[in-house]
């Protein structure tokens, strides 16, 4: 199975900050990485798929990039509603399509 190692596990930041979260895949997965946001008590929400394609309706301050087996989610200027937990997921080849361990982003 392909494993996703996500870092950091937690992050404190302020409104207006630029934030990056990284996932490293255990093997080549091309661009088959997705990013989700989950707020407390809610279902996850898809933000980015295919490593860098913004899901419809998601603000443009969210972006994704890749370099080899490293994938990054960037929030360019944090807004109060962005404080949540973020997960990466790989969806390459056959299942299982494993998730990263999650990054909890809270207010500094």
Q: Which residues bind another protein (CB under 8 A)?
A: 1, 31-32, 34, 36, 38, 43-46, 49-50, 53, 55, 87, 89, 91, 94-102
Over the Cα atoms of the chain, what is R_g? 13
Least Å distance, CB 75 to another protein, is 19
Residues 6+ apart with CB under 8 A from 95: none
Least Å distance, CB 15 to another protein, is 25
Least Å distance, CB 16 to another protein, is 28
What is the chain's percent helix, strand, coil content, to nearest 5?
A: 5, 50, 50
């Amino acid at each position: 199975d392909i494993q996703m190692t996500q870092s950091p596990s937690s992050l404190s930041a302020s409104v207006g900050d630029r934030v990056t979260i990284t996932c490293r895949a255990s093997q080549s997965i091309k661009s088959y990485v997705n990013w989700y946001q989950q707020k407390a008590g809610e279902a996850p929400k898809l933000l980015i798929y295919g490593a860098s394609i913004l899901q419809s309706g998601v603000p443009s301050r969210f972006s994704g990039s890749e370099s080899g087996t490293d994938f990054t989610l960037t929030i360019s200027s944090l807004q109060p509603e962005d404080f949540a937990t973020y997960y990466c997921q790989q969806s390459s080849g056959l299942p299982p399509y494993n998730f990263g361990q999650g990054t909890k982003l809270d207010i500094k």
